Structure 1
Amino acid sequence: MAVTAAAAAWAVTAMSLAASPAAAAPTGTTASRLGDACTAADLGTRHPYIKTTEVSPTITHFKGWFVTEGTTGNQTVTTSTQTTISVSVGLNNNIEGSFAPETLGKAGTSVGLNVKVEYASTSTESNSVTWHFGQPGYYGVYKGTKKVTGTYGSLNCNRVQQGDGSWALKWIEGPDGGNFTTYTTLEEGAVRCQDKVPPDSIMAKAQTLLDCGSAAAKAEHPAGAVAPTAKQKRDRLEQHPAPPSGPSAEQPRATGRSARAALDCQAEIYKIAVPGKPLSWGAPILAADGVRLRPSSIFSAHLDNWRLCNVTERNGVIEASLWNWGIGGCATISGQNPAAERAALTTVNCTEDDLQRFYIYRDVPGSSKIGVQNKYTGYMTGYDRYADGEFIRQYSSGRQDGTGTYTLIRV
């Protein structure tokens, strides 16, 4: 998906360059590595790649338990919550669409573990552990898991100029990314101070919580919960961050940019159209409505005319606000939860909120095909079906059938 020949950063070189080989039927190419070839059908898609990972044995429930002579055998011990782990990718812990599960799956593969790839959370309630205690002694009764955290980036299709001056479409590192958290299957057990356990294991982590000091110290809390360490307290804070307060369609939340009285818009006016077909993005007339596919006509009242404003470019990727001529508002993601899969685009007063900023991925010069990605959510735009009145929506991985590819047609 690319920007048409226009001015400055949009200019096409004088040499005649063919459009990318993606002009053919959409293929839904799956991203593999940075620098691999992609097609114009991939301009509206994204795929995750794992940048960093960390595996931390973590105790979720624990209790110090003293077993005396005559009390060995099966016992049920009620443990107390130490740490709560919630699966999350990016903005929140709503694992929707395909991008988040793909991210978690790749994270698990990279560390060689089977991890949760859907939303899950360890229990915040006290948990019982039934265990056979064969010998008297002081035990740490626990439930735990391996917590896997890290950072991810996205692979996006965009034009890249090669060493000989020609252009090609390749998978590049997109401007967006974030953090993820997941964990492995829970394990439960009991461990004593004198037990030899594998280092960096869940059992070893439980042993560090066990008071292995003097008998007098143990007598002070023979069956009490061991207090969490300072690190566990920090982990708890990390696991319970303040939830993102999604902006409403009427008043988007500022995300790092202050409101501006006026936008610096380019003079060119565009239609954002479906390649080779008559429908294009049309702004809503009613405030509660969304951006829809519409046919252009003399009655369109410029609702299908868009300007690119406050344009910047980094590593060949355009960032811009999309200002509609017909209503004088900017495109944004609607709804109280902006990270929702299939949330519709709408228009609001321009405030330079990151929800109103979009990345534009371009086909090779000579082609007007583009892909559009929201800066705040990282989701790609597309539509469920080609029809008059169909909403333009966001999809975490884009539309793999090529319906996230548009043409930017200068009016």
Structure 2
Amino acid sequence: MSRLGSSGRRARGLVALTVTAASTLAAVAAVAGPAAATGPLEPAAAADRPNLGDACTSADLGTRHPYLKTAEVSPTITHFKGWYVTEGTTGSHEVTTSTETTITVSVGLEGKVEGEFAVELLTSAGASLGLNVKAEYSSTSTESDKVTWNFNQPGYYGVYKGTKKVTGTYGSLNCNRAQQDDGSWALQWIEGSGSGSFTTYTTLEEGAVRCQDDVPADSVMARAQNLLDCGSAAAEAEHLAGAVAPTAEQLRERGMQRAALTADASAEQSEATGPSTQAALDCQTTVYKIAVPGQPLSWGAPVLATDGVRLRPSTIFSAHLDHWRLCNVTETNGVLEATLWNWGNGGCATIAAPNSADERAILQTASCTEDDLQRFFIYRDVPGSSMVGVQNKYTGSMMGHDRYADGEFIRQYSSGRQNGTGTYSLIED
């Protein structure tokens, strides 16, 4: 492991986060900090979660936790219908609304909410903002579009459903070696790979509002009142009882929503395409086994392309399938980034693209390409120890296994294996 030593000390500093909140209904304390710096916002209910700079142990090398960088709350109308009530038509009406905005719970590039990391992140965001948010995959488009309301006065109403949309950015806390001021080394939680953005929302509320109603500013009801386009000729005109045509403000909102969805789809298509040519690798001469600490099983590459990397005993018949080289190696803040090339089959470790968003997707080998699915971060124990944690660059997930057994697959876990079965030994062979 001496060849893998850190090239310098990791700078240490405490940073603070300012969380912006568009809703006056969500009170978030803003903490001043160094200019242009952000850091984790830790909810009071999550005192057991690590903070940046806290000590960790070798068992944590194969794990990670989310931390909030920013969070913003904005009242959003998801369903709306202009409704005119005349004399003699007051009372209860069931109104079928139109979709204004669709909010989908998502975490990261893939948009899926799967695994412990995403759930912990969304739960943490809700606790930090004092809101009860969705912590699983859901969409406002699946909510009923019908609103039953008792109209006790004639007038021009906006019948709505809405919610508090919560968006923000997050980072990843990983355990890694860090050199201390006295020159010694210790394990501590650092900002690792795996930042991104998230979206969630609170429970939908419904109601009806008129232009003349006095409503709280920055509320869902105020947002619905804005869609009435109060003061316009359409709003002030006489109407027959029942549905009213969409206002100019509603049409603008829908146009912006369609444009955003088109942009998101284009971005996803761009992410889905990628190079497929064989890459030339600059590999180190050292050959490694990636082994379970103190146990005879190591990562063994598959003979068949359709199989995955498994725990295998090393024997004279292993045909170098248990031997790996680190290629195109870089180091940033003490964390190695490398392609893992297998000596036995000539392939590179990867998570298959169709399964990249799946919790517990199997680690495989494939033809080597310049692809982030084939790049891995290696988090190391203090010098003198060979123990490491391995994280896929594209998915952000940690490598681990369900149980210690011959033939057990190596898989990806969004938060790693909290029982220590994601910590391996990188042993020169």
- TM-score (norm. length: structure 1): 0.88
AA partner of residue 256 (structure 2): R
- Indicate conservation of the 8 Å contact 2:156/2:235, yes or no: no
Match of 2:394 in 1: 376
Shift of 1:146: 0.5
Distance 2:402 2:207 in 1: 49
Match of 2:311 in 1: 293
**Alignment partner of 2:141: what SS?**
coil
Shift of 1:109: 1.3
Distance 2:396 2:239 in 1: 50
Shift of 1:226: 3.1
Distance 2:67 2:279 in 1: 38
- Deviations, residues 252-274 of structure 1 (Å, cap 9, x unaligned): 953xx885641011111100000
- Indicate conservation of the 8 Å contact 1:80/1:225, yes or no: no
- Deviations, residues 262-289 of structure 1 (Å, cap 9, x unaligned): 1011111100000000000010000100
Match of 2:179 in 1: 161
* Between 294-303 and 116-125, the greater mean CA deviation after superposition: 116-125
User: Is 1:306–2:314 an aligned residue pair?
Assistant: no
User: Is 1:212–2:209 an aligned residue pair?
Assistant: no
Higher RCO by CA contacts (8 Å cutoff, separation 6 or greater):
1
Match of 1:133 in 2: 151
- Equivalent of 1:109 in 86, 103, 127: 127
**Alignment partner of 2:299: what SS?**
strand
Match of 1:19 in 2: none
Shift of 1:140: 0.5
Distance 1:350 1:114, change over 3 A: same
- Deviations, residues 126-148 of structure 1 (Å, cap 9, x unaligned): 71111111111110000000000
- Indicate conservation of the 8 Å contact 1:81/1:124, yes or no: no
AA partner of residue 182 (structure 2): D
- Indicate conservation of the 8 Å contact 1:84/1:239, yes or no: no
AA partner of residue 107 (structure 1): A
Distance 1:84 1:221 in 2: 29
Shift of 1:9: 5.0
User: Is 1:402–2:420 an aligned residue pair?
Assistant: yes
- Deviations, residues 158-199 of structure 1 (Å, cap 9, x unaligned): 000011100000000112211100000000000000111001
Structure 1 residues 10-409: aligned runs within 5 Å: 31-123=49-141, 127-213=145-231, 217-219=235-237, 223-227=244-248, 228=250, 230=252, 233-238=255-260, 241-242=264-265, 244=268, 254=274, 259=277, 261-334=279-352, 336-409=354-427
AA partner of residue 347 (structure 1): T
**Alignment partner of 2:119: what SS?**
helix
Distance 1:215 1:288 in 2: 66
**Alignment partner of 2:221: what SS?**
helix
- Indicate conservation of the 8 Å contact 1:149/1:180, yes or no: yes
- Deviations, residues 348-404 of structure 1 (Å, cap 9, x unaligned): 110020000000000000100000000000000000110111000000000000000
- Indicate conservation of the 8 Å contact 1:311/1:319, yes or no: yes
- Deviations, residues 310-338 of structure 1 (Å, cap 9, x unaligned): 00111111100000001111000026131
**Alignment partner of 1:364: what SS?**
coil
- Deviations, residues 199-222 of structure 1 (Å, cap 9, x unaligned): 100000000000312566543876
Number of positions where the alignment pairs a residue of Structure 1 with one of Structure 2:
385
**What's the C-alpha RMSD, in Å, of the aligned pairs?**
2.3
Distance 1:110 1:321, change over 3 A: same
**Alignment partner of 2:224: what SS?**
helix
User: Per residue, is there more helix in 1 or in 2?
Assistant: 2
Distance 1:36 1:229, change over 3 A: farther
Aligned-residue sequence identity (percent) comes to: 71
Query: Structure 2 regions of 5+ residues with no counterpart?
Result: 9-46
Distance 1:208 1:198 in 2: 12
Distance 1:216 1:144, change over 3 A: closer
Shift of 1:245: 6.3
Shift of 1:96: 1.4
Distance 1:258 1:337, change over 3 A: closer
**Alignment partner of 1:123: what SS?**
helix
User: Is 1:6–2:24 an aligned residue pair?
Assistant: no
- Indicate conservation of the 8 Å contact 2:386/2:427, yes or no: yes
**Alignment partner of 1:298: what SS?**
coil
AA partner of residue 408 (structure 1): L
* Between 257-266 and 291-300, the greater mean CA deviation after superposition: 257-266
Shift of 1:237: 4.2
**Alignment partner of 2:373: what SS?**
helix
Shift of 1:236: 4.5
**Alignment partner of 1:336: what SS?**
helix
Query: Structure 1 regions of 5+ residues with no counterpart?
Result: 12-28
Shift of 1:239: 5.1
Distance 1:389 1:196 in 2: 67
Shift of 1:339: 1.3
